[in-house]
Amino acid sequence: MAKTESTFRNMLLSLSLISLGAAACLGFVYQVTKEPIEAANLNKKLMAIKQVVPEFNNNPFEDMYRLATPEGDSLDIYPARKDSVVVGYAVNTFTNKGFSGYIGLMTGFGPDGAIINITVLEHKETPGLGTKMTDPSFKDQFMGKNPADFRLKVKKDGGPVDAITAATISSRAFCDAVERAYLTLNKGGDK
């Protein structure tokens, strides 16, 4: 078998065929995994909603609506209803003020505005420090509090929230995300 001459044209043809084959493989893998990933993300949100609001019998995804935040972003609001009566709101909120940036939360509010529960959906905080925001010892201090009369600030900033030791930035970011959810829901009213 004769060896192919190494020319610019032959190299370009070889690289083009390799690139085309790799792109086809990536496209195939994307199509195969797209639906299972979307289903897993939807299930993760549903589980988070169930954790932060009382028992409901509606489909919160069908009733979901978006409200603009004071900063110009928008948050997804999932009303939870039991026999057509609103029992709570799950707010998919976030902040970019964490020590490592983005923190995503699902925050549950009662019809009166009191915090029912909070669950952390996503973060990249420092393991062993900022990750303690998921511990009940930190997040349970918010339960039952109404942000209308409970300042969502850490004690260093003059508020009542006990910050995570050595993770004040993460604690402030957590408070910021919860406050953003409350202000957005409060401003938007019932839908």
Looking at residue 172, its amino acid is: R
Concatenated DSSP letters of 22-43: HHHHHHHHHHHHHHHHHHHHHH
The answer to whether residue 4 scores a pLDDT higher than 90 is: no
Is residue 36 in a domain? Answer: no
Is residue 44 in a domain? Answer: no
Residue-wise pLDDT for 43-85, tens only, equals: 889 999 999 999 999 998 899 999 998 788 899 999 999 998 9
Instruction: For residues 123-133, give the mean pLDDT.
Output: 83
Is residue 153 in a domain? Answer: yes
- C-alpha radius of gyration, the chain, whole number: 23
Measured distance CA(60)–CA(184) in Å, rounded: 18
CB 178 within 8 A of CB 145: no
Is residue 17 in a domain? Answer: no
Rounded to two decimals, the pTM is 0.80
What is the domain range of residue 176? 51-188
Q: What is the DSSP letter of 183?
A: H
Flag the least confident range among 21-25, 27-31, 49-53, 166-170. 166-170
Q: Tokens 């940036």 map to which residue? A: 101
Is residue 162 in a domain? Answer: yes
Backbone angles phi, psi at 61, to 5 degrees: -70, -35
pLDDT at 1: 62
Number of domains, the chain: 1
User: Which region holds residue 154: left if phi is over 0, alpha if psi is between -120 and 50, else beta?
Assistant: beta
More confident residue, 2 or 151: 151
Coil/strand/helix, residue 147 = coil
- For residue 191, what pLDDT band results from cuts at 50, 70 and 90? very low
The answer to whether residue 16 scores a pLDDT higher than 90 is: yes
Is residue 5 in a domain? Answer: no
Is residue 29 in a domain? Answer: no
The sheet carrying 101-109 orders its strands as: 65-68, 74-82, 85-98, 101-109, 115-123
Per the DSSP assignment, residues forming a β-bridge with 80 are: 88
Is residue 2 in a domain? Answer: no
pLDDT at 181: 94
Q: Which H helix or E strand runs over 104?
A: strand 101-109
